[in-house]
Structure 1
Amino acid sequence: MLISRYQSKENITQAMRLRMYQLMQANYDHVTQERFRDDLDAKDGAIILYDENDRIQGFSTLVWYRDLLDDSDVVFSGDTIIDRQHWGSRELVNEFCRLCGQWVKSHDRTLHWFLISKGHRTYQFLPLFSKQWHPMPAKHDPKLANDAATCARILYGDAWCEDSGVLRFSENQGQMKPEVAAATEQRKQNRYVEFFCKRNPGFANGDELVCLVAMHEENLRGTALRAFRKGMME
C-alpha cells in the first residue's frame, strides 16, 4: 500500500532526487540526470509516493500557472512514474485531486489539468476519474482542444505539432523502454489504449500526447471526486 506526500522542490533532498531519478531510469531510456534535474527545478514540487518502509516508489512533479489561459488557472504535471510492482495504485490520482480541490478553494478560480502522455497508463487515468477531457474517443470539445493547444504552444513552442496534437522534440527527451512500450501495444483491445495509440503513433519514440481536463466537481467521478471535495473542505 502506498501513501502520498506533497513536497515543495526546496524540501526534496539529494537522496530523494537520486531515488526518483532511479525510478525514471528503470522505465525510460534517454533520460539524463541533467534533464531530470532541470524538469524538477522548473516545477513547484512533487507528489511523492512511499511504501510501508518509507521508500519512494513513485512521484509526479507539478507546477501551477495563473497566466496560461485567460479564464482558468492551470496545473501541469511533468515527470510521472510509479514503480511497476505498484501499478494499479490510485493513491497518486487521489492526492493530485485533493491538491486541486485545495487550489480551487483557496484561489476561487476554475482550474484545468494540462498533461502530456507518452504512455497509455497516464492517458488511462482520464476516463477513470473524469467525464470529459481532450482528446477522447467519439467526442470533441472545441474549447478544450483550443485551450490545450494554447498551453502546448506557450510551454513547448516549436515542439508542438498542431495538426497531430502531439509534442515531437528535436532532441530526445526520454522514451519508454521497449518492454514497457510493448505492454501498450499488447493492450490495444482496450478502447482507450487503442485511441491513445491512434492519436500518438510515435509514443514509443518519445512523442507526447497533449491532454487537458477541467478540474471541477461536475466533471469528476468516483474516488477522484471524493478526493477533490476533501481538498475543497480543507
Structure 2
Amino acid sequence: MTLEMGLALAGFAIATGLALGTLGAGGAILAVPAFSYAAHLPHREASATSLLVVGTAALIGGLLTLRRCKNNPEEAKPDFKVALPFVLSGLVGSWGGALLSKHVPELALKLLFGAVVLAAAEAMYLRSTASAQESSQKTAPAWLTPLIGLGAGLLTGLVGVGGGFMIVPALTVVGKLSLKRASATSVWIIAGNAAAALTGYIGKVHIAWGMAGAFLAVTLVAMSIGQRFARHANPKTLQRLFAAFLLVIGIVTLIKR
C-alpha cells in the first residue's frame, strides 16, 4: 500500500466514522468509494468490504449508545420496537440483494451506486431545510415500514450502502422518533442489514479483511468523536455539509469509469 493510498483511506475512514457518529447514516456511502477508488478494489469487493466495516462500526456504536444511556438518562435511546419491522424486512432484502448482485454487470452496479448517492444527497438536503414543525406533521401509513426496510436492505446487498439515508427519515415519519433517537435506532438496522448482506457475499466475493480491520479502527475512533460532537452540534448544519459531500461523490462516481 502506497503512502497516498493510506492517507486517502484514512481520510475516508475519518469521514465514515463522523457520518455514523453524528447522523447515524452515510457510513457505507463513504466506505464504498474509499475501497473502490482509493484502494482500487472492484465494486463488488469494495461493497462487501465496506459492509464488514460499517456493519461492525454500527453495532459497536449501538452498544456504546446503550452504555451511555445507562449513565445518562438524557441520552437519545434506540427504539427497538419501532426498529423491528425494518430489521426483519431488511434482512430479507439485504441477503437477496447480495445474491442478486453477482448477476448484475459491474458498470451497472457503479451507475446504480452513483444514483443512490445523489438521491441520498438530495434527501439529506431536504431534511436539513424542513422545519421541526413540518417534520412532526408528516405522516405515513404503517404498512410502508416493511417496504422501506426491504428497499433499504436490497440496496445494501446490491451496492453496499447501509440504507441509513432512507431509514432515518422513515423512523422520524413512520415511527415518530426525534432525529437524534432515529439516528440511535438506525445503527442497529444498518448492522442487521450489513450482516445479512455479508452472508450472501462470503465465499463468493473476495473481502479485504486486513484493509477492513485498519479502516475500522480509524472509523471507530472518528465515530466516538462524532457521537460526542453530535450532542452539541446543529443537526441541520451537519446534514447540509454531508449532502454537499455526497453530491461530489455521486458526480465523481457517475463520471469516472
Shorter-chain TM-score range: under 0.3
More helix per residue? 2
Bigger RCO of structures 1 and 2 (CA < 8 A, at least 6 apart): 2
More strand per residue? 1
Q: TM-score, normalised by structure 2?
A: 0.25
